[in-house]
Amino acid sequence: MKAAVVYTKGEMPKYADFAEPIPQNENQVLISVKAVAITNLDKGKASGKHYSSENHNQNGFVIGSDGVGLLENGTRVYARGISGTIAEKAIIDKNILVPLPDGISDGVAASLPNAVAGSAMALKFRAGIKEGETVLINGATGFTGQMAIQLARHYGAKRIIVTGRNEKTLQSLLELGADEIISLKQNDEEFIKQLKEIHSTTPIDIILDYLWGHPAELILSALKGNGSFTNKVRYVNIGGMAGDSIQLSAGILRSVDLQLSGSGLGSWSKAEVKLLFSEILPEMFLLAAQNKLKVNIQEVKIADIEEMWAKEALDGQRLVVII
């Protein structure tokens, strides 16, 4: 079969022939893959830098963690891959999949799950979002950040503040439901001043952070209290695009009612993952099929994987490989 194969971690995937995977037990089945999104998770695993990266395989390995495909009976489903998914065939667990509704394209369906998991799980299970709350999304110009805006509103957020560096994309977030934007291109003092003013008039309840690094340090500095009572802030880290570590003053932790947590593979419980597949993803697929979610994708052919792998999608698009 044709597949996108990494032979040495850190190198570009190759469009190559690869042995078709063989199911190992009665719960594993083959699907004919139709579309797979290229995510930061997949790039991190291919490079060996993500904490869930596989051990070295001298024969190479097929990249891709999930995808949309057809079961043998023709049912179109989304599923996580037991084998790599950017290939003509992949193995999935027949008990962990989501049938897709009519009206949603393969590309859109493939693009949603990673972004939904990267936003809905944090909002619902780590932050426990409630109707009428104020949400700050740090690094909202990417595909997952754009989805987080829409899901925060869907789950009842009254006010949504967003940060980002891409000025053009940042302005477009107002059309997705953001109420106020904060540019990360301004100097640190201006950023902190703007955020302090927002927080003093409309206390922030939830922060979804896709950047970490220096932007996170600035946000936490802006939250620092002065000894008076503070609004509880649930700060959830989801990504580290701006750096993997930060300096955090103990004074910040003591001066503000702060709940700091993370949302990602390994942090979710089995019950939460079960709800992701049984309730959250089916709802999101249906919303997309009804054109109630704005989904920004760029479709590429699997034969062009070497050319497209290193390219950054423009304006927060998600690259989707069509097979």
Query: Is pLDDT at 95 greater than 60 in this prediction?
Result: yes
The rounded percent of the chain whose pLDDT value lies above 70 is 97
**Amino acid identity, residue 317?**
Q
Query: Is pLDDT at 137 greater than 60 in this prediction?
Result: yes
Q: What is the pLDDT of residue 218?
A: 98
Mean pLDDT for the chain overall: 94
Instruction: List own/partner pairs for 73-78 with CB under 8 A and 24 or more apart.
Output: 75/99, 76/34, 76/100, 76/106, 77/31, 78/109, 78/110, 78/113, 78/281, 78/285
Q: What is the pLDDT of residue 54?
A: 56
Q: Which residue has the higher pLDDT, 23 or 46?
A: 23
Work out the pLDDT band at 183, boundaries 50, 70, 90.
Answer: very high
Structural domains in the chain, sorted by start:
2-116+280-322 (3.90.180.10), 122-262 (3.40.50.720)
pTM of the predicted protein model: 0.92
Work out the pLDDT band at 58, boundaries 50, 70, 90.
Answer: low
Query: Is pLDDT at 160 greater than 60 in this prediction?
Result: yes
Q: What is the pLDDT of residue 276?
A: 98
Q: Tell me the C-alpha distance between 320 and 300, whole Å.
A: 6
CB 256 within 8 A of CB 233: yes
Work out the pLDDT band at 49, boundaries 50, 70, 90.
Answer: low
Q: What is the pLDDT of residue 240?
A: 94
Query: Is pLDDT at 200 greater than 90 in this prediction?
Result: yes
44-73 residues labelled b (16+ CB within 10 A) or e (exposed): ebbeeebeeeeeeeeebbbbbbbbbbebee
Mean pLDDT throughout 114-122?
Answer: 97
**H helices of 182-280, where?**
188-201, 213-223, 250-255, 270-275
Lowest mean pLDDT, pick from 57-71, 147-161, 270-284, 302-316: 302-316
